[in-house]
Amino acid sequence: MEIVKIIGIGLVSLFIIIIIKQYKPEFAVYVSLGASVLILMLVFDKLTNIIDLLNNFASKTAVNTTYIMLLLKITGIAILTEFAVSICKDCRRKCNSK
């Protein structure tokens, strides 16, 4: 049921962005960022369940939980970096199209 909410937020923000682009294209980035933060907040609960599951697996095996947390931090940094790069590419494309 959560996926329906996430898809709904994505589609509503898409329609809002399409409408806003016609009148104030610079505000489309803000709507995109707002929708992304809202979706991230919805997904965050599921991410904590995944982290708990990984910690549970690590405790049952001989893997040190420090390594698991390090891998999770690296993955989080990579995801945030990719997100920032995508936003920068979108902004650059919009600025160059003017």
Per-residue confidence band for 97, with pLDDT thresholds at 50, 70 and 90 = low
How far is it between the farthest Cα atoms of the chain?
Answer: 58
pLDDT number for residue 88 = 83
The three-point CA angle 2-16-11 to 5° equals 30
Mean pLDDT of all residues in 3-23: 90
> Taking the mean position of all CA atoms in its chain, how far away is CA 75?
12
Domain ranges of the chain: 2-96
Per-residue pLDDT tens digits for 26-64: 888 899 889 989 988 888 888 888 888 888 888 888 878
Q: Cα dist. 21→29, 75, 78, 96 in Å?
A: 9, 33, 29, 15
Give percent of the chain with pLDDT exceeding 70: 98
CA distance 44 to 28: 24
Mean pLDDT of all residues in 69-98: 83
What tokens were used for 42? Answer: 């919805």
